[in-house]
Amino acid sequence: MARRKLVYEGKAKILYEGTEPGTLVQYFKDDATAFNAQKKEIIDGKGVLNNRLSEFFMMGLARIGVPTHFIRRLNMREQLIRQVEIIPLEVIVRNFAAGTMAKRLGMEEGTPLPRPIVEFSYKDDSLGDPLVPEEYIIAFGWASQQDLDDIIALALRVNDFMAGVMHGVGIKLIDFKIEVGRVWDNDFMRLIVADEISPDSCRLWDIESGRKLDKDVFRQDLGDLADAYTEVAKRLGVLPSNATHMPKPTLIN
């Protein structure tokens, strides 16, 4: 049997050549990394949860007319996606101050922002994905002004969808990051949502208790990451509500 061809291995996912031209298979690993991969761990079951959750969000977006790369889920850890030319930017949307914004501006985490704020960082691990102004993006040719206007509109639609879905299950969407890619239909270029949307790329706080249900649980050692992601999946009905995350058996003396 022919082995499929590896296209790219990243920190959290692996891309393989897809079955049809213009497609890729996206495999979700259990690896968790933070602080530009200085902190690393294997979290059993994370890949399975993120594959499911990203499918859930991307399918929901498609239903309201937001184009994404998602085609279909193949198995527990893999989904078929449309191959795009990734814009080398992390598109971040913030509703409440947190993370680097809170730090940079000396704001308390959770402070509501006057309106959703979209910001961009340049995707380059060796530089630590630095924040870049639109002026740089246009001057260096990573995207045009028209592209940026389209990307901002896309990101705000994703924000409204995600914030609404999360609010419906008692979760506050603090912020999130997406990646956007170009696809061509003949000579017509379109920008679509790519990569993943999961608790790895969002900040999610329980509305009642303030409990964090995202990758900050790992960054800040707040408990079991897979438990937090399982909670999100259960509330969204992505997993049966009686499903529990089964930790590895531990040896008892």
Ligand X SMILES: Nc1ncnc2c1ncn2[C@@H]1O[C@H](COP(=O)(O)OP(=O)(O)OP(=O)(O)O)[C@@H](O)[C@H]1O
Of the residues 71, 123, 211, 238, which one makes contact with ligand X according to CB under 6 A: 123
Of the residues 20, 41, 125, 149, which one makes contact with ligand X according to CB under 6 A: 125
Q: Which is nearer to ligand X, 30 or 160 (CB)?
A: 30
Of the residues 179, 214, 216, 231, which one makes contact with ligand X according to CB under 6 A: 179
Is residue 195 part of the contact set for ligand X (CB under 6 A)?
Answer: yes
Q: Which is nearer to ligand X, 24 or 225 (CB)?
A: 24
Tell me the closest approach of the beta carbon of residue 85 to ligand X, in angstroms.
7
Of the residues 43, 81, 197, 232, which one makes contact with ligand X according to CB under 6 A: 81
Is residue 15 part of the contact set for ligand X (CB under 6 A)?
Answer: yes
Of the residues 10, 128, 130, 247, which one makes contact with ligand X according to CB under 6 A: 10
| Binding to ligand X in span 38-77, by CB under 6 A | 69
Of the residues 92, 181, 193, 202, which one makes contact with ligand X according to CB under 6 A: 181
Among 152, 146, 154, residue whose Cα is nearest residue 61: 154
Residues that bind ligand X (CB under 6 A): 8, 10-13, 15, 24, 69, 81-84, 86, 123, 125, 179, 181, 194-195
